[in-house]
Amino acid sequence: MVFAGLDIGSQSTCVTIINEKEIMASVLMPSSVNPKKIGEEALNLALGKANLSRSDVQYFIATGYGRYQAEANEKISEITCQARGVQWFIPEARMVLDIGGQDSKIILLGKNGRVIDFMMNDKCAAGTGRFLELMTQVLDIQIEDYGTLVNQSREFIELSNTCAIFAESELISLIAQGKKKEDLARAVCRSVVKRILTLAGKMIITRPLVFTGGVAKNQGIITILKEELAFSPLIPPDPLITAALGAAYLAREKSLPEP
């Protein structure tokens, strides 16, 4: 029996196909202005990788921003799917920190991946991958440069603005003052981490904490996150597919009878 999960996010679209025991195929591609079309394309590519056809799929669940345009059996929120996808990789997880291209979220988990509480930032670029991308333009660096630059930093600089527009102006002013690129890169990463940890509000940071989303591949953010938490977050083998995997996991649960 085969089950599929589709996550149509603001920046990327992912399809993961599983059977009763393992991941059979996964496809990740950039999202587009046509969520329905990109979702179908990703699904067909994943099915092709697994040597399957659409008729082989027992149940299909969509999640993410574009889920309502997908032709799936069911649509489920990315909060629930993210939690279940993390559970697949790390069953003992009790908190999820997810930083994507356009939003960030922190999810408190109970047993079996059950969502107890969550907080989400989807109204502002601060604390998201988009903020990091905007600041790379000001610093004239690449996203992958953050890790190296953060490790080279020697002067502590803190950005007073979390708003992307004001932070950009502040960064330009600091560059004009002769501040080093590596110190500013660290300041940018620290701003993102502080924003997401502040988002947690009254929730107690709980271990094991799992870091997911595209930003979980940013070594600069990982370094600062370790410093702020005073422990290392756990990162799944592929932190970009967890929501789609969770959707497929839920599809499997809805199709198979309880033991």
- CB atoms inside a 10 Å sphere around CB 71: 12
Residue 95, beta-bridge partner list = 108, 209
- CB atoms inside a 10 Å sphere around CB 1: 13
Contact 58, 28 (CB under 8 A): no
pLDDT of residue 42: 97
Long-range contacts of 130-137 (CB under 8 A, 24+ apart): 130/101, 130/102, 130/164, 131/164, 131/167, 131/188, 131/191, 131/192, 132/188, 132/189, 132/192, 132/215, 132/218, 132/221, 134/164, 134/168, 135/167, 135/168, 135/171, 135/188
- Decide if 1-90+239-259 and 92-235 have a common fold: yes
Contact 99, 129 (CB under 8 A): yes
Any idea where the domains of the chain sit in the sequence?
1-90+239-259, 92-235
Handedness of CA 46, 48, 51, 53 (dihedral sign): positive
Contact 210, 137 (CB under 8 A): no
Please give the structure tokens belonging to residue 59: 């149940």
Nearest to 167 by CA among 143, 139, 148: 139
User: In a 10 Å sphere around its CB, with 0-12 CB exposed, 13-18 middle and 19+ buried, how is residue 39 labelled?
Assistant: buried
pLDDT of residue 259: 52
The pLDDT of 103-130, averaged and rounded, is: 88
Handedness of CA 123, 125, 130, 134 (dihedral sign): positive
Model pLDDT for residues 219-256, shown as the tens digit of each residue: 999 999 999 999 999 999 999 999 999 999 999 999 87
pLDDT of residue 257: 65
Is a pLDDT exceeding 90 seen at residue 111? no
The CATH homologous superfamily of the domain defined by 92-235:
ATPase, nucleotide binding domain (3.30.420.40)
The pLDDT of 40-62, averaged and rounded, is: 97
pLDDT of residue 125: 77
Domain range 1-90+239-259, its CATH number among 3.10.20.30, 3.30.420.40, 3.40.50.150, 2.30.110.10: 3.30.420.40
Of 46-50, 65-69, 162-166, 207-211, which range is least confident? Answer: 162-166
Amino acid in position 165:
I
Q: Which residue did the predictor score with more confidence, 166 or 242?
A: 242
Please give the structure tokens belonging to residue 70: 């997908």
Q: Under 8 Å CB-to-CB from 100, ≥6 apart: which residues?
A: 9, 10, 11, 128, 129, 213, 214, 215
Q: What are φ and ψ of residue 60, in 5° steps?
A: -135, 120
DSSP symbol at 27? E
Contact 28, 46 (CB under 8 A): no
